[in-house]
């Protein structure tokens, strides 16, 4: 069955958001805390979250998966498989929580509640991710990772999430008209 004109436009806009996320992934990132400078802010999360709000959670997760894969293939990830897994777990949890809440309340209040839930979901999912995935791929002892949870990993995810939330709130209304046309 052929795709409708509206469906074609939606896919084209999702592809555009994927391309923007890939371009944003090459903006020089910065560490959030000096104690864990290997965890850096991801500018590519902005178009992903905007896609979640504009097109829904499944579409936003698709934008995330494709942009993360393209970034890894283009050499954007220092440790491609590890980086892909960790980034998708983080933005996937954030996007799913934010998108599901925003879907039921498409207002500024719904967006804020969704983003806060997303920040918390990302922070919570990154605890076991760091305890299991990091030792498996990076060889870091679990005891070292446990020692970094409270002083570094948890605060970094809260700060990263908050930065992304504020920027998403600022940018979404400015681009939503175009995305929904």
Output the average pLDDT for the chain.
Answer: 92
Mean pLDDT of 136-163: 94
Residue 36 gets which letter from DSSP? G
pLDDT at 76: 56
pLDDT at 10 over 70: yes
* Cα–Cα–Cα angle for 54, 125, 138, rounded to 5 degrees: 115
What pLDDT, on a 0 to 100 scale, did the predictor assign at position 109? 97
- pLDDT tens figures, 119-137: 999 999 999 999 999 999 8
CA angle in degrees (0–180, nearest 5) for 67-119-146: 95
Report field, pTM of the whole predicted structure over 0.95: no
Distance CA 50, CA 33 (A): 26
In this predicted structure, what is the pLDDT of residue 155? 95
Nearest of 58, 53, 47, 46 to residue 15 by alpha carbon: 47
What pLDDT score was predicted for residue 79? 64
Instruction: From the options 1.10.287.1080, 3.40.640.10, 1.10.357.10, 1.10.1760.20, give the CATH code of 5-29+42-180.
Output: 1.10.1760.20
The stretches of the chain forming alpha helices (DSSP H) are: 5-24, 45-55, 57-73, 80-104, 108-138, 142-148, 154-180
Q: Where are the domains of the chain?
A: 5-29+42-180
Neighbours of 28 (CB within 10 A): 7
Q: How sure is the predictor about 2, in pLDDT bands with cuts at 50, 70 and 90? A: low
């Amino acid at each position: 069955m052929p795709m409708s004109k509206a469906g074609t436009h939606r896919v084209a806009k999702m592809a555009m958001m994927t391309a923007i996320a890939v371009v944003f992934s090459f903006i020089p990132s910065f560490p959030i805390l000096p104690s864990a400078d290997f965890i850096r802010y991801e500018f590519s999360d902005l178009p992903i979250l905007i896609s979640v709000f504009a097109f829904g959670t499944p579409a936003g997760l698709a934008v995330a998966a494709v942009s993360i894969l393209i970034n890894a293939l283009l050499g954007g990830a220092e440790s491609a498989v590890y980086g892909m897994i960790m980034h998708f777990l983080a933005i996937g949890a954030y996007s799913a929580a934010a998108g599901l809440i925003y879907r039921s309340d498409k207002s500024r209040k719904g967006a804020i509640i969704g983003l806060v839930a997303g920040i918390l979901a990302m922070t919570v999912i990154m605890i076991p991710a760091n305890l299991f995935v990091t030792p498996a791929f990076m060889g870091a002892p679990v005891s070292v990772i446990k020692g970094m949870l409270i002083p570094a990993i948890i605060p970094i995810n809260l700060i990263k999430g908050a930065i992304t939330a504020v920027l998403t709130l600022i940018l979404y209304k400015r681009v939503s008209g175009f995305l929904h046309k």
